[in-house]
Homo-oligomer: A and B are copies of this chain.
């Protein structure tokens, strides 16, 4: 029963992801999501309070999934530079291999929903320390391995290019092979290394 309930919830979230990624939040009526999920329109409202709630819940799930994928084979015992390469290699692979997730998350963070979430995160330092990027940059700064700039700036210098590049890739403007990926991450490192 509970299992089945979870399944249906999952089905709806999956359908929502696909529809949102393809059509945007405003081009995606709840009826379309319900149809794709093969449930009644009303059913959607048994699992989510509103369309907004569905979007926020989908974000939570995507966020968790993204974090877990990005941390694959990531050991905090490795040397900083190696950890940096692993982390960004994972990030690039995640965004390019999961275009729907990426498109959804981009949309989310560029919308009023996402701004609220980011505001909330900023006020929760515990959340912040759990962030592997923040942790890595903190450690690297302490060890004098990278330039001593605010973490926000370091995030911009490294994650900024990845997101920008992913958009170009998804738009079909460029393709990234293994070698180019490696060169790119090297350039990210060069931007912040001392």
Q: Are A157 and B26 interface neighbours, CB within 8 A?
A: no
**B147, B165, B171, B183: which contacts A160 (Cβ < 8 A)?**
B165
When distances are taken between beta carbons in the complex, the residues of chain B under 8 Å from A180 are 149-150, 153
Proximity bits, A178-194, B CB within 8 Å = 1, else 0: 00100110011011110
**CA gap between A53 and B147 in the complex, in Å:** 46
Interface size range on A against B? 35 or more
Give residues of chain A (114-131) contacting chain B, Cβ–Cβ below 8 Å. Answer: 115, 118-119, 122
**B26, B152, B173, B190: which contacts A174 (Cβ < 8 A)?**
B152
Q: Are B112 and A24 interface neighbours, CB within 8 A?
A: yes
Q: A149-B184, A160-B163 are in contact. Are A171 and B119 (CB under 8 A)?
A: yes
Check: A106 CB closer than 8 A to any chain B CB: yes
**CA gap between A153 and B193 in the complex, in Å:** 19
When distances are taken between beta carbons in the complex, the residues of chain B under 8 Å from A98 are none
Q: Are B150 and A156 interface neighbours, CB within 8 A?
A: no
Check: A41 CB closer than 8 A to any chain B CB: no
Check: A155 CB closer than 8 A to any chain B CB: yes
Q: Are B152 and A187 interface neighbours, CB within 8 A?
A: no
Proximity bits, A20-59, B CB within 8 Å = 1, else 0: 0000111100000000000000000000000000000000
**CA gap between A177 and B157 in the complex, in Å:** 17
Q: Are B115 and A171 interface neighbours, CB within 8 A?
A: yes
Q: Are A153 and B165 interface neighbours, CB within 8 A?
A: yes
A63 to chain B, nearest CB (A): 17
Q: Are A171 and B118 interface neighbours, CB within 8 A?
A: yes
Check: A80 CB closer than 8 A to any chain B CB: no
**B111, B152, B162, B163: which contacts A173 (Cβ < 8 A)?**
B152
